[in-house]
A and B are shown apart, each in its own frame.
Chain A
Amino acid sequence: MEIGFHGHEFDKAERNTQTLIEKTINWFRSKSIFVVAYGTGCGAIEMPPTFTSRYDAERGGVVGVATPRQADVIIVSGYLAYKTLRRVIRTYEQMQSPKYVIGLGSCAINGGMYWDSYNTIKKLDDYIPVDMLVNGCMPRPEALLEGFAKLQERIRNGEQGGWEKYEKNLEFYKKNQKKVLGENIDPSYEADWYMLKQGATL
């Protein structure tokens, strides 16, 4: 069982076994990538220039959308607090397959300069399957665009995406998630929050 962000080596055989129709579909898919606009760390500041007129990711077929249900890609832009991790997992699970994760910046790779913080995770790919890691602190929009180009190449080649790994190894991911977030990773705490509010104590 191969877990982690090896995706690149994961299924090279598939490249040659694409039928013409699959090839066409994959080509179209690679040219329409929707990114959920949710910045988690300071690297998110590089996303607005990437998607607006300065670098214009849209010419490569990459557009931002407002909600996870319409998105194909989530960018984890930097350090991830445990609290944010919970939201990111929820966001990721709401997205529809095929879906991809891009980890942006050294914080997403190994914790970066927050590696010894009591409240941030170090290895993003233990909790959600990462398709592409872009390094740098913070990476320039060019680096992010190159990441997208590589991701598109992989989609065109019909390589296996992270979401398939997530489904296959759900137990592994859930175990890791529970380790840092506790048993209760369903969002029931939201209900508690609203109840507290009704009690006028907030």
Chain B
Amino acid sequence: MSDILTKLQGLSMEVTQKNERLYKLMVDAHDIMSTLLKLLNEYDYITLDSINCRDDLEEGYFTITYCLLKKTRDHVLMVQTSINRENASLPTLHKIWPQAEILERELHEFFGIDFPGHPTLIDFALEGWNQLPPLRRDFDTLEFVNSLDPFRGQRDDNLDVKVEMKKRREEKKAQKLKEAQEAAKNEEVPSHES
């Protein structure tokens, strides 16, 4: 068992090694803040790399993953937790890791997760979005897209591309053949005269 795993065992939580550089820690949703703080202060996980969200629609929860790094950058620790899809809400980390502000803003926009106390939960990549958050799986993207912006129909000149290309190729072939024949004729003519 590696050193890292042994050390993390001290947290008395379920830790697993996914591969040689990746460790996973499962946490209860209401312990998330205390665990992250502990990892920062006692275990030197000083960098928050990303916050990811997976929508487990069938089970009815979001799986949130915090990726933490040490100064040595030799392995990644994923801290994973599940929260209820309805009225999803998480504590904000922007005071601990400033980069969390933008990461949380993204989660708020694409999954509708609330972060009480977050200073800037405003538009991020979308503008004036008033539908379900677009990356939730119960948001019907196809229907939304088709209602807003119908697909372009056939070509405006009603021509079939395949047929047209074939026609064009045949025309070119005939043209070449004709040119070759003419060239052959021209060559023949002077030879007759001489």
| B148 and A83 contact, CB distance less than 8 A | no
Among the 9-residue stretches B24-32, B125-133, B165-173, the one with 4 or more Cβ atoms under 8 Å from chain A is B125-133
Residues in A whose Cβ lies below 8 Å from that of B127: 82-83, 86, 181, 189
| A201 and B149 contact, CB distance less than 8 A | no
The residues in B between 86 and 145 inclusive whose CB is less than 8 angstroms from any CB of A are: 119-120, 122, 125-128, 134, 139, 141-142, 144-145
For the complex, give the distance between the alpha carbons of A83 and B152 in Å.
21
Residues in A whose Cβ lies below 8 Å from that of B128: 182
By size class, the interface of chain B is: 10 to 19
| A122 and B141 contact, CB distance less than 8 A | no
How many interface contacts (CB-CB < 8 Å) are there between A and B? 50
| B148 and A180 contact, CB distance less than 8 A | yes
For the complex, give the distance between the alpha carbons of A109 and B154 in Å.
12
| Cβ of B98 to closest chain A Cβ, rounded Å | 13
Name which residue of chain A comes closest to B134, CB basis. Answer: A118
| B144 and A118 contact, CB distance less than 8 A | yes
Residues in A whose Cβ lies below 8 Å from that of B125: 83, 119
Residues in B whose Cβ lies below 8 Å from that of A5: 156
| Cβ of A62 to closest chain B Cβ, rounded Å | 27
Say yes or no for A23: interface residue by CB 8 A criterion: no
| A121 and B149 contact, CB distance less than 8 A | yes
If the complex has contacts A83-B126, A116-B141, A118-B144, are A4 and B151 also in contact, measured as CB distance less than 8 A?
no
| Cβ of B109 to closest chain A Cβ, rounded Å | 11
For the complex, give the distance between the alpha carbons of A171 and B152 in Å.
21
| Cβ of A122 to closest chain B Cβ, rounded Å | 5
| A6 and B156 contact, CB distance less than 8 A | yes
The B interface is mostly helix, strand or loop, or mixed, namely loop
| A201 and B148 contact, CB distance less than 8 A | no
| B126 and A119 contact, CB distance less than 8 A | yes
| Cβ of B134 to closest chain A Cβ, rounded Å | 4
Say yes or no for A110: interface residue by CB 8 A criterion: yes
Residues in A whose Cβ lies below 8 Å from that of B148: 179-180
For the complex, give the distance between the alpha carbons of A121 and B149 in Å.
7
| Cβ of B8 to closest chain A Cβ, rounded Å | 37
Pick from A4, A82, A122, A181: contact of B156, CB under 8 Å? A4
Chain A, 102-126, contact with B by CB distance < 8 Å: what is the 0/1 string? 0000000111000111110111001
Pick from A111, A181, A182, A196: contact of B122, CB under 8 Å? A196
| Cβ of A83 to closest chain B Cβ, rounded Å | 5
Name which residue of chain B comes closest to A182, CB basis. Answer: B128
Pick from A82, A123, A180: contact of B152, CB under 8 Å? A123
Residues in A whose Cβ lies below 8 Å from that of B152: 109-111, 122-123
| A201 and B119 contact, CB distance less than 8 A | yes
Residues in A whose Cβ lies below 8 Å from that of B156: 4-6
If the complex has contacts A83-B127, A182-B128, are A116 and B149 also in contact, measured as CB distance less than 8 A?
no
A/B interface sample: 10 pairs, CB < 8 A: A5-B156, A86-B127, A109-B152, A110-B151, A115-B151, A118-B139, A118-B141, A119-B125, A122-B149, A122-B150
Task: List 9 additional A-B contacts (Cβ < 8 Å) besides A118-B134, A201-B119, A201-B120.
Answer: A83-B126, A109-B152, A111-B149, A115-B145, A115-B151, A116-B145, A119-B125, A180-B148, A181-B127
